[in-house]
Structures are given as C-alpha cells and as structure tokens.
Amino acid sequence: MRLTMKLLRTINEPADLRRLELNQLPQVAAEIRDYIIETMSRIGGHTGASLGAVELAVALHFAFDTPRDRLVWDVGHQAYAHKILTGRRDVFPTIKQYGGISGFLRRDESEYDTFGAGHASTSISAALGMAIARDARGEKHHVCALIGDASLPGGMAMEAINQAGHLRTRLIVLLNDNEMSIAPAVGALTGYLNRIREAQPYHRFKDELAETLRAIPSIGGQLHNAAKTVKDALAAAVLPGALVNELGFKYIGYVDGHDTNALVHALREAQAEDGPVVVHALTVKGKGYAPAEKNRYKWHASGPFDIATGAGIKSSAPSAPTYTAIFGKTMCELMAKDERIITLTAAMPDGTGVDMVLEKYPERAFDVGIAEQHAVTFSAGLACEGLKPVVAIYSTFLQRAFDQIVHDVCLQNLDVTFMLDRAGIVGGDGATHHGLLDIAYLRGVPDIILMSPKDEGELRDMMLTAVEHPGAIAVRYPRGSGTGADVTRAPEVLEIGKAEIMRDAMGDGGSEIAIVACGSMVHPANEAAAQLARDGIETTVINARFIKPLDSALLLALARTKRLIVTIEEAYLAGGFGSAVLELLEENGLQDRVRVVRMGVPDRTVTHGDAKLLLAKFGLDADGIAERVRAEVEVLDERRARHTQPASSHAVRRG
C-alpha cells in the first residue's frame, strides 16, 4: 500500500490541523485511515474500533482547542487517529510493542491524553470531574467525553450521567454509536439507541412541525407559538433523544459520524450550550476497509493481515488450543450434564469462549454487556434460587466487581464460580489489562477457594471441581495457547487444597530445594528443574493447584525438610501466593527454619510488550527460574560454609 501523507505530514500537533480549511478534513481522515490500515496490517491492533473513529478524532481536534479544551476518551482502544494527530504520528508503528507507545491512553504519554484509560465507562465521570474543577477555577474551556454505545450502559457512565444531569454544568458527551461492543451491543439501552437510529432526527421533526403550523393561514403564527409547549412535551415523550433530554442533557443528533463537516457543526452547536449536551454520532466499525466493515465483530481488533484480502497472517508454528477455547468447550460439556449451570460473560463472549455456550445454550447463557458488577450480583441472585452460575470475566475487569464478590456472593455463602481468563501478563494491551492483582484481591476474602491450573487439561478438572463445589470458587488461567495437554480425557474432581507433586526429590535421598509453582509457572518450573538437574542440582517441584486453601500439610513438611523453598507465580508478589506461603510458615513458627524466595511480579506498573519478553524480564521463565535457584544455592552454600567446619561437607546437597 502506498501511503499519501500530503496533509498528515504537516500535522505535528492539533493546532496544525486547525489551520486547515474545513473542507480539507476528509482528506486528512483518508490519510489517517490508510496509515492505520497499513500499520495494523503489519503489527495488528484495534483496527476496526479505530477505523470507525477517525472522523470523530479529526472533527474533535478541529472543533476544540486541545489540549486547553479537554478530550476524555473512553477505553482508548479507538483513539489511534487521536494519537496520530497529537504528535505521535511517527511513533505510531511502535504501538503496543515493548518500548513503544501504548495501545490505550496514558497521561504520561501525552498532554492530549487527559485521562488514562483501558477499562470502559470511565470517561463521563472523569470529564465531569474536570468540568467541575474548571468551574471552581473560573475557567471557560470545554470538556468533552467520547464514549461508545456499549460503554454507555456501563454502571459508572450511568452514575455520571445521573450527576451531570443534576449539576447542569457545561459538559459535552460525544456518543460514538456503531451498534457494536466487541460483539454486537446488547441491552435495553442499545434497543433505545436503535430506535433513535430508525426515527427521524429530532431537528428535522421539529422543523417540519414548525413549517406545517406556520403554513396554516391566518392563525398559523399564533398556533405556532401556542404549540411550542405542546410540541416540546410531545418531543420529550416520543422523539429521539427524549430520554436524554429528560435526564437534563440537550440532545444533538443524530449526526453522520463519518461526515467531518456535520460533526464539526454539531460540536460547535454543543459548545454554544450552557449545560450538558449529548452529541449522537452514528459510525461504522471498520469504516473504510471493506473486510473490516463486513465482519465488524472479528475486526474490532485484529492481528497482522494481508491488506488486499483481509486474510490474517498467522505465525507458522501450529499452537495448542487456547485456554479460552478449552473453557468454552468444557462449559458446554458440563452444561449438558447439569441443567442448573448458567454461564455469564460481561461483553466478552469471544474473549472468554462464552460465545460457544451462547450458541449452544442460548437460554442458559447471558452476555450482560459491560457490566461486571451486575454480572456478579446477577449470578448471586441466580445462586439464591439454586442455580449454578459460572461467571467468565477477565482477571483485570473483575477488579471492578470486588465488593460484589465479597458482599453479594461470599458473605452469603453462595455457589458462584468465577473463571478468570487473562490472569497474568497479557502482552500488548499492557498495564490496564494485565491480570496481576486477582490473587491479592481474592485471597483475603473469607471462604472463597482459588485455583490455578498448570495446563488446559487441569483447567477442565478445575472447572468440574468448581461446579461440584457448593460455594464461591475462582479459577485463574492465562491468555493464549495451552501447553498441548490431553483434553480428551474426562475431567476429574480435584481434592480441595491438595497440591500435586510433579518432581519428587523428597526424603533422605532428595534435595534441599523445593520449587512450588502456581498455574502457568508450573511448566517453566519443571523445565528449570530439568536444567538444574543437568547441573547436578536436584529439586522437588510442586504444582500448587490451590492458592487458597494452601496444601498446608505438604508445605509445612517442605518447610521442615528443605533449606530453600522457591515460590513462583505470574502475579504481583504483594499479597500473592508466595505471601500466603510465608504467612502459613509464620503461623506455624517455621519462618526461620527455611529460606523462602518468592518469584513473581514486583511492586510496579508493568508496561506493554510481548508477553514472553515481559515474563523473561521478571525471571518468570525456565532460564530465569534456574538462574535464581542457582544464585540462591550459592548464597546458602556460602552461608553454610561460613557457619560450619569443614565447609565442604555441608554444602547444599546437589543431586
């Protein structure tokens, strides 16, 4: 693809865009669109979502005096054009890669990213805060939130609208309505927006009504005035945007979200208002790239692709099925056997594998939309009535529903299963999407059980264990392909709180080192053990299986017989699995008996980049684990040599 950047090359910041004529904006948009397609074809990203918002970004930066006027993007996955227009044109091809720019918005990346984002439905709340701060300082600039139609029904956005309609300060909400979440948008509010799409635009109706009244001879003018009140009441009752008006917002729309001229005019009209305004723009996900327009669901985000055909470019190595796919398949099997099981997703049917369940059991599976908190409490209600809900939500998005887990599920001892996909480092989506906190936020909740499988075969065992267990239980598992484990054998119920010994070097002839690994770290731990054995260092390897309750009998036995225990988890160390092991030893007075080394993610924000690379940086791969064990063995050997005579006879036993 040959890129023409005739205008785009001249735009280093939005002020350059504002120096252009209004009629040049379509060309700017076309150049940006080509640049996004060309870049995404090589590296992949949120292709469809961003193509749908190109004209919105151009019109926003043209109509507003950014960064003085504040633009607040929701989620930020659709903001590629915004990035290109705000000084990041040349670094755009580094997006989502290690050392490159973020795929979402970050305040530390640009002054134009007024609010960090990655999770949905935050923009109106943040924008309202900024608007109130502006008022308090007596400043006059505009604040505009851009939100998608699927993020609008998210609880927080509704809460923000509720307050904004009450406060009545100047605030503009640009609604990017493409009828899609990642999957097709769901819910009653979506139905309402669809009805607006189908109805006549409000202005056209008002104008036509006025014309008709005026045209009535002699009394037309008076009737026109008298009818104003009736007309407004009628409009409020039946017309597009009526609900929005009732909530204290002025409704402007709808506008063609790919017509920069119409958008700029609508935004200027909104700027002239004295209170909160919704500008309703209709857009098409994937706009301007035929394959993406044709399959909007698949193209919300994409990998690299062939521009001519849209065909995905796959890495050549065949990979095992993903944990997500195995979850979906296993869920269908479990539901076939137990009619009480209900499956839920919060707007991620494809991402969680619930799409398979929705297809097979449409009556017993729900996509609740971007509503994680509701998903959990809705499940609690189902469980109250004897059903067995399984809630599949990414680890990072379940953070939203912490109180619902505590207050609505666990405190009431309800039978809900939580399936936490994308637990661990997720890669290019970065800081907002890594699932590194779930162990810390779930472990402290009384009575919940927390498991993590070493592979996709064990995921199936854990799913069966979870639906059989009559209480709150959570399973965390990573993004991407499994290890190629056997998924054809029937799943087994695991004994709660029992770990698995993978490599036994216990007892008198065994080593003095135990590696206790959690979930995705079990395989690298085994590989590390094999490497170490080649160097003459024998280790015991344990697959923890349960993060809560711990296999305390086994761990205490290790503490009594080993000199070194290495815990490994793909999660934050603070409050994590290793911390749980330390607590157990402390509770049993064994904390000084054995050296415990915790491997995991340190207390800092983790950037975006290839997941393998990021894991390696934290030493969370076979080489990193082996290296750490070797280093610790050396420390122990030295320590022992210092304290005992002759030193050599007491070295940590090797093999």
Q: Which residues are catalytic?
A: 285, 372, 400
Least separation, in Å, of the C-beta of 351 and ligand TPP?
A: 7
CB of 149 to ligand TPP, least distance (A): 5
Helices 25-43 and 260-271: crossing angle in degrees, nearest 10, is 110
Q: Is 173 an interacting residue with respect to ligand TPP (CB under 6 A)?
A: no
Does 443 sit near ligand TPP (CB under 6 A)? no
Under DSSP, the state recorded for 44 is -
Q: State which residue, 190 or 567, has the beta carbon closest to ligand TPP.
A: 190
Confirm if 421 and 323 have CB atoms less than 8 A apart.
yes
Nearer to ligand TPP, 80 or 397 (CB): 397
- State which of positions 302-341 bind ligand TPP (CB under 6 A): none
Cα–Cα distances (Å) from 555 to 45, 443, 597, in that order, read: 43, 17, 14
In the complex, the smallest distance separating the C-beta of residue 117 from ligand TPP, rounded to whole angstroms, is: 8
- 422 or 628: whose CB is closer to ligand TPP? 422
In the complex, minimum distance from the CB of residue 399 to ligand TPP, in angstroms, rounded to a whole number: 9
Contact residue for ligand TPP among 119, 224, 460, 479 (CB under 6 A): 119
Which of 148, 427, 519, 609 contacts ligand TPP by CB under 6 A? 148
Q: 17 to each of 26, 62, 188, 386, 525, how far by Cα in Å?
A: 12, 6, 39, 60, 54
Phi-psi region of 69 (alpha: psi -120 to 50; beta: other; left: phi over 0): beta
Q: Report how many residues bind ligand TPP under the rule CB under 6 A.
A: 23
Nearer to ligand TPP, 372 or 408 (CB): 372
- Nearer Cβ to ligand TPP, position 176 or 543? 176
Q: Which of 47, 66, 86, 176 binds ligand TPP (CB under 6 A)?
A: 176
54 binds ligand TPP (CB under 6 A): no
**Nearest distance from residue 607's CB to ligand TPP, in Å?**
18
Residues 6 or more apart in contact with residue 473 via CB below 8 angstroms: 416, 417, 418, 448, 449, 450, 451, 465, 466
Is residue 86 within the footprint of ligand TPP (CB under 6 A)?
Answer: no
Q: In terms of CB distance, is 178 or 302 closer to ligand TPP?
A: 178
Strands 276-282 and 171-177: parallel
Q: Which of 71, 174, 292, 347 binds ligand TPP (CB under 6 A)?
A: 347
By CB under 6 A, residue 391 contacts ligand TPP: no
Burial 276-285 (b: 16+ CB within 10 A, else e): bbbbbbbbbb
Q: Which stretch binds ligand TPP (CB under 6 A): 149-157, 478-486, 493-501, 542-550?
A: 149-157
Which residues ranging from 251 to 290 are in contact with ligand TPP (CB under 6 A)?
Answer: 285
Q: What are phi and psi of 639, to 5 degrees?
A: -60, -45
Closest CA to 263 of 53, 60, 52: 60
The residue number whose beta carbon is nearest to ligand TPP equals 148
Query: Exactly one of 39, 41, 78, 114 binds ligand TPP (CB under 6 A); which one?
Result: 78
Amino acid identity of residue 327, one-letter, is F
Tell me whether residue 205 or residue 402 sits nearer to ligand TPP (CB atom). 402
Residue for token pair 């923000």:
160
Distances (CA, A) of 193 to 75, 148, 253, 284, 374: 20, 12, 11, 14, 21
Cβ-in-10-Å burial (0-12, 13-18, 19+) of 319 comes to exposed
- Taking the C-alpha atoms of residue 538 and residue 586, their distance in angstroms, rounded to an integer, is 26
Helix (H, G, I), strand (E, B) or coil at 109: coil
Q: Which is nearer to ligand TPP, 49 or 376 (CB)?
A: 49
Give min distance, CB of 429 to ligand TPP, in A.
9
Per CB under 6 A, does 125 bind ligand TPP?
Answer: no
Residue 604 Cβ vs ligand TPP, minimum distance, rounded to whole Å: 22
Cβ burial, residue 250 (10 Å; 0-12/13-18/19+): middle
CA 450 and chain centroid, separation: 21
Residue tagged 């307050």 (tokens): 163
Residue 77: CB minimum distance to ligand TPP, A: 5
Give the interface with ligand TPP as residue ranges (CB under 6 A): 49, 52, 75, 77-78, 119-120, 148-151, 176, 178, 180-182, 285, 300, 347, 370, 372, 397, 400
